[in-house]
Amino acid sequence: MCFLTKQEVQHALQQYHVNQEANYKTQLLNPTKLIVICDNDSCAWRCKASHILASKQWEIRKVCEPHTFLNPSISQDLTKLSYLLISKSIHNLIENDPSTSVPTLVAHIKSTEGYTAIYHKVGPTKQKVFENIYDNWERSFHNLSRLLQVMQQFFPGMVVKETLPMPPQGGQSVEDFLKFHNLIWSFKPYINEFQYCKPVVQVDGMIVW
């Protein structure tokens, strides 16, 4: 089997061991070689993967013996259920709907992958996947501020309201801090046209001019 990166090899090994209800440990790991063995010394299972210069890919070159030490309880929270394995399973869900709850993600992993990932692993992984797709909250906020400054520079008269004062906490004043609440902006041509709009009152679907 061939893989583009070492991380893909590790993901394949993790997925294989979840399906086999087994576990493994790393015996050797360096930039060009990966050797893993069963975490039970009585099992002879062993796998070796290497980076091939000619193809610039990682290849699994040797697998010795099937696993003889299995543990059905592993599927309930395999120690190798890393960020990489969980993130690949939930990436599309987060991309399609960032508000997907952690319990929903746990149920999705159970139905598609066959194992139960515990909450405290899925929660942080969801946040990392979200940041990989949509960027970090703080960086996004600072980028938004710079974007608005550029827009105001090229659209004179543009009106922007993007923050609200942070409410006092613990009886202490926090007037020097701002908390992002929402973003509203309007271009000057639209503002100028408001004077030509006809007043309208709408009550329960009835419009009165």
Which parts of the chain sit beneath pLDDT 70? 70-84, 162-179, 205-209
- Predicted TM-score (pTM) of the model is 0.47
Q: Do 59 and 49 form a contact (C-beta atoms < 8 A)?
A: yes
Task: Give pLDDT tens digits for 144-202.
Answer: 888 888 998 999 898 887 666 566 555 555 555 566 777 888 999 988 988 888 877 77
What are the beta bridge partners of residue 24?
38
Ranges assigned E (strand) in 5-74: 24-30, 33-38, 46-52, 57-64
Residue 202 confidence (pLDDT): 75
Residue 199 confidence (pLDDT): 79
Q: How far is it, in rounded angstroms, from Cα 57 to Cα 84?
A: 19
Q: How far is it, in rounded angstroms, from Cα 138 to Cα 184?
A: 19
Residue 33 confidence (pLDDT): 92
Domain boundaries, the chain: 2-73, 81-134, 156-196
Q: What own/partner pairs with CB < 8 Å and gap ≥ 24 does 103-108 have?
A: none
Q: Do 39 and 105 form a contact (C-beta atoms < 8 A)?
A: no
* 8-state DSSP, 76: G
